[in-house]
Chain A
Amino acid sequence: MARRTVEIDLNRVEGDLEIQVDLEDDVIVDARCIGTLYRGFEQILIGRAPRDALVITPRVCGICGTAHLYATVRALERIGGIRPPRHATHIRDLCLMAENLQSDLRQTFLFFTPDFCHPSYAGHPLADDAARSFAPFQGDVARGCLETSRKVLRIVAIFGGQWPHSSYMVPGGVTLPANAGRLLDARYLVAETRAWLERSVLGDNLDTWLALDSGPAFFEWLESSAAHRDAGLGLLCRFSRSIGLQSLGRGTPHLISFGMRPDPVDGGGFPAGFYDGDADRVEPLDQMRINEHVSHSWFMPYPGGRHPWSGETIPDHMSGQGRYTWAKAPRYGDKVAQTGPLAELRIGAEPLITDLLAAEGDNTWLRQFARLRRAAWTVRAMAEELDALQRCMDEPHFVDPGIQDWPDGEGCGLVEAARGALGHWLRIGNGVIQGYQIVTPTAWNASPRDSAGQPGHWERSLIGLRLEDPEDPVQIGHVIRSHDPCLVCTVHFIGRSRKTYPCV
């Protein structure tokens, strides 16, 4: 059997990643995710004043800086023994939801659906519909997504000044309170976003769509009217399933989520947890079981996995020795877990996603479908958040913690970012930051092998994939983009006898 490695470019993801894939008779038999960028944030933070992390960590990620800010402020508040007032918590949750919503919309309609306009689908019966809706910068859903995602982010600007990269969540609360005018502005933006979703994405009322509670109910709904079939979601589903995306890209069965609201004050939303895919059981989250391996990473080696409290990030670029990435390998206990909207909704026991996962297992279509499903839940949750905010608008938005010198201590901040579970682990000593470890959602999903040799989630989701045309393997684009990578991703195929650089 001829074994070979070929190379493919892949963009429309965030950040830097390459994947090496070994092929035997056009079937992927092995895959290695390669993080190609090291930026040194954890080192930059050491020795700085604790609150500086509110400025530095949002800049880890331009698309989910609000989530990083939230994780930082929660870690600081743990150490300082600070309870933020609920006025502040509602504003924080609202802004996090707005950021996640824009990311879900942009990822779906700017990064994922353009693949349906790929030349290899020229003869597909839905190709013209796909072009009309999804062509980059031209399709009507793509244009609507650009406009609507800008609108959603105005909500963050109303309370935080700007998006991306502001630092309005501070220990003790937020820097600006809600008032009648801001609340009203935000309400109209949520309503306009909902209207666009109903008109262009769902082709139906949002509440009707959220009430669908099983796979059969969903598929019946989909076929029951032209409006459902032809709107963005219907077209995405019909196109995906016509090319078999519901049976491609199965990764690890285990899921992890930090929950829709980091610290629910008035209930609601999806709770944090771990879903054991072998036992089909959701367990409460225990962050002490999270550990990171570096056996296949370009960092100073240590044996086994370490909890982020005892973790270290010392770059050490060694070629060979099985090391191939700037990413570490996070594990939950000894389990490889995937994170993102699918995990969030399944762990939250959302009926439709729970049913679809049980019926077909995790797959490329379902991950993307779950992202839009979460977007719809998020729009509704934002409206509820604004109601809750209105009820406590006269309470303080900030209570001065009165901390001149930060006490020694350790604190973690766990937040569900757009791409899933995001954790910050911070240690303060002598009034300054002594250690800072960040485990991003993509670190879970794009992790390399661990000390036991278990491949990461994406690596596993590619193994077994048959490439109909290894010269132009558009399937890899679908599978990888359905994971919503936060890394510019290049899949490497180096031919044994020739080099090919097909385009995805």
Chain B
Amino acid sequence: MNLVWMQTGACSGDSMALLCAEQPSLESLLDQGRPRLLWHPSLTSERRFGAVLDALLLGREPLDILCIEGSLMTGPSGSGLFDTWRSRPKIDIVRQLASIAGHVIAMGTCAAFGGVHAATPNPTDCTGLQFMQTRPGGLLGEAWRGGAGQPVINVSGCPAHPDVMTKVLAMVAAGVPIDLDGFNRPAAFFSTLIHQGCTRNEYHEYDAEDEVLGGRGCLFFALGCQGPMTPGICNAALWNGRSSKTRAGVPCLGCTSPMFPPDRDLFVTPKIGAVPKRLPLGVSRAKYMAYKNLAKAAAPERILNRDMEP
């Protein structure tokens, strides 16, 4: 199982997160010999990119897994010259490699959906591999399938969760089938909400909502937290083995979502009246408001006083 990891319009954050994976770690994954890392821009030392590219494109070696980290820059004016390798647009190289790859994995929200570079005004005309934000298509087109028959596997997140990256690689390398959700994310890791496992849950439960940062309460009503709507395992499998943004008092910014980063004040929750415009996934507004009113009335003193450490 040969693996090539290529960076396009990227910050290296997914690669750096990959080095932080613990279950399994990158070195444990590679110790097993599946996959075999032919190329990584930061980590391999035996071969240069051109030689790897030639060997793959001439069919001398199979390309089983192609990981792309970064947005696909199509600008300026469709030329791809905002991101080049030896004067060649990287988007052309990605298209070529994708056409011979068994599996293509978008590592991070940039490669999956466009990501931070696609934020207004999208100065580089960038896109994801098979989605431009929520719109199917992207660089490769909606109909594209890899040699193994699957669309691009979108391991979204900014950066992608370290352990999700290594687990998906281990599963693909072992031939384990990967079920995908509506945005082609591996369902096994995107059927959990960030909210699940958040240590501020009790504050959310009793409607103890913070108005300013730095407190112990819930960040959902006022401070822009998108945890109750965002799929991901940040609070189920902790970051760096320790914590998560919401545990540390940073609102979930919805970074696994196709529209990340949204085009609005990121630390303010848009509201209708006193209630957030976007409610926890699948909840009806009327029932939610009734529940919140009851919950607020039931809140114990220790919650109202913010006695509990998140």
Query: Which A residues have a C-beta under 8 Å from some C-beta of B?
Result: 7-16, 18, 36-40, 43-44, 47-49, 51-52, 54-56, 59-63, 65, 106, 110-111, 114-115, 117-118, 136-137, 143, 146, 149-150, 153-154, 156-168, 170, 172-176, 179, 185, 315, 317, 326, 397-398, 400, 488, 490, 492, 501, 503-504
CA distance A16 to B245 in the complex (A): 29
CA distance A18 to B22 in the complex (A): 33
Chain B residue nearest to A185 (CB atoms) is B242
Judge whether B82 and A38 touch: CB under 8 Å: yes
CA distance A10 to B39 in the complex (A): 12
Q: What is the 8 Å Cβ interface bit string for chain B, positions 1-30, against chain A (1 contact, 0 not)?
A: 000000101111111110110100111001
Main secondary structure of the interface of B (DSSP, over half): loop
Contacts of A315 in B (CB 8 A): 76, 82, 123
Contacts of B249 in A (CB 8 A): 161, 168, 175-176
Judge whether B240 and A38 touch: CB under 8 Å: no
- Other A-B pairs, 4, CB within 8 Å; known A62-B17, A150-B19, A501-B51: A11-B42, A39-B73, A56-B116, A146-B25
CA distance A21 to B232 in the complex (A): 46
Q: What is the number of contacts between chain A and chain B, taking CB atoms within 8 Å?
A: 227
Judge whether B213 and A175 touch: CB under 8 Å: yes
Instruction: Decide if B45 is an interface residue (CB 8 Å cutoff).
Output: yes
Judge whether B42 and A110 touch: CB under 8 Å: yes
Instruction: Decide if B141 is an interface residue (CB 8 Å cutoff).
Output: no
Partner pick for A166 among B41, B44, B248, CB 8 A cutoff: B248
Contacts of B244 in A (CB 8 A): 161-162
Chain B interface: which size bin? 35 or more
CA distance A170 to B48 in the complex (A): 42
Contacts of A14 in B (CB 8 A): 12, 42
Instruction: Decide if B241 is an interface residue (CB 8 Å cutoff).
Output: yes
A-B contact pairs, 8 of them (CB 8 A): A11-B49, A38-B82, A44-B123, A47-B120, A118-B45, A136-B44, A146-B26, A162-B234
Chain A residue nearest to B117 (CB atoms) is A39
Instruction: Decide if B266 is an interface residue (CB 8 Å cutoff).
Output: yes
Interface centre among B27, B30, B73 (most CB of A within 10 A): B27
CA distance A332 to B31 in the complex (A): 48
Please judge, given known A-B contacts A44-B119, A175-B248, A176-B249, whether A164 and B17 are in contact too, CB under 8 Å.
yes
Partner pick for A62 among B119, B159, B264, CB 8 A cutoff: B159
Q: What is the 8 Å Cβ interface bit string for chain B, positions 88-118, against chain A (1 contact, 0 not)?
A: 0000000000000000000000000000110
Judge whether B83 and A161 touch: CB under 8 Å: no
Please judge, given known A-B contacts A51-B267, A55-B266, whether A400 and B212 are in contact too, CB under 8 Å.
yes
